[in-house]
């Protein structure tokens, strides 16, 4: 029904359109460029049978903190395409890439306290836990749950083949997450939301 694949630069305009159509937190194109030109492995799209982008995940690596970890900037699935497990598939793909390419220890995200559907997806299906509550995180004054999911240790579930165990001979003490000048997205605080 829906193809899950890595996003290319050509998908970015459609991703932005998808975001603007269904989420309240929006970003200018430059922020999408910033993501794909920094971590091209961490953007995935859901493309329907007519070639339309009906969902995406936009993720990044946190470069400043000492513990290398990924962060979900934004996750969206069009209302018309719910009940297909797309959010789960998109999230899993991004999480795998964070772990495999960047050796992320964990992945974090923010979710509105009131967004029960998304909260359930993160806790029940994807194994996230509440790490903290950020008061008045959103522009409208709503609080956010700061959620985390530990990645290390589960890594061979999805990629058990052909790995030569590369992660073993390189350690990510800030490794790939080394501090690089950052292009500022003017978009305000990122957030994640599921159907």
Q: Which residues bind other proteins (CB under 8 A)?
A: 1-6, 8-10, 12-13, 16-17, 20-24, 26-30, 33, 36-38, 40-41, 47-50, 54, 78-84, 89, 93, 97, 100-102, 114, 139, 158-159, 161-164, 166, 170-176, 178, 180-181, 183, 187
Asked if 131 and 148 touch (Cβ cutoff 8 Å), the reply is yes
Tokens of 193: 């939301």
Strand-pair partners of 69: 62, 106
Residue closer to other proteins, measured from CB, 36 or 126: 36
Q: CB of 167: closest distance to other proteins in angstroms?
A: 10
Q: What is the DSSP secondary-structure string of 92-138?
A: HHHHHHHHHHH--SEEEEEEETT-HHHHHIIIIIT--EEEEEETT-S
CA distance 98 to 88: 15
Of 20 and 132, which CB lies nearer to other proteins in the complex structure?
A: 20
**Contact by Cβ (8 Å): 59, 70:** yes
**Min separation Cβ 42 and other proteins, Å:** 11
Considering the complex, what minimum distance in angstroms separates the CB of residue 135 from other proteins?
19
Closer Cβ to other proteins, 120 or 131, answer by number: 120
Give min distance, CB of 25 to other proteins, in A: 10
């Amino acid at each position: 029904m829906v193809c899950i694949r890595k996003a290319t630069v050509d998908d970015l305009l459609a991703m932005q359109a998808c975001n603007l159509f269904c989420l309240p937190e929006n970003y200018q194109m430059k922020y999408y460029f910033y993501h794909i030109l920094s971590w091209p492995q961490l953007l995935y799209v859901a493309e329907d049978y007519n070639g339309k982008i009906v969902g995406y995940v936009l993720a990044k690596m946190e470069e400043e903190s000492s513990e290398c970890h990924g962060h979900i900037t934004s996750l969206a699935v069009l209302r018309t395409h719910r009940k297909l497990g797309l959010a789960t598939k998109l999230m899993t793909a991004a999480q795998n890439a964070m772990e495999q390419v960047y050796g992320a220890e964990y992945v974090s995200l923010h979710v509105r306290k009131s967004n029960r559907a998304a909260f359930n997806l993160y806790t029940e299906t994807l194994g996230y836990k509440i790490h903290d509550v950020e008061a008045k995180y959103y522009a409208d004054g709503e609080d956010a749950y700061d959620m985390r999911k530990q990645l290390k240790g589960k890594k061979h579930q999805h990629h058990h083949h052909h790995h030569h165990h590369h992660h073993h001979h390189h350690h990510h003490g800030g490794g790939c997450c080394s501090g690089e000048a950052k292009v500022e997205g003017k978009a305000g605080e990122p957030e994640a939301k599921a159907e």
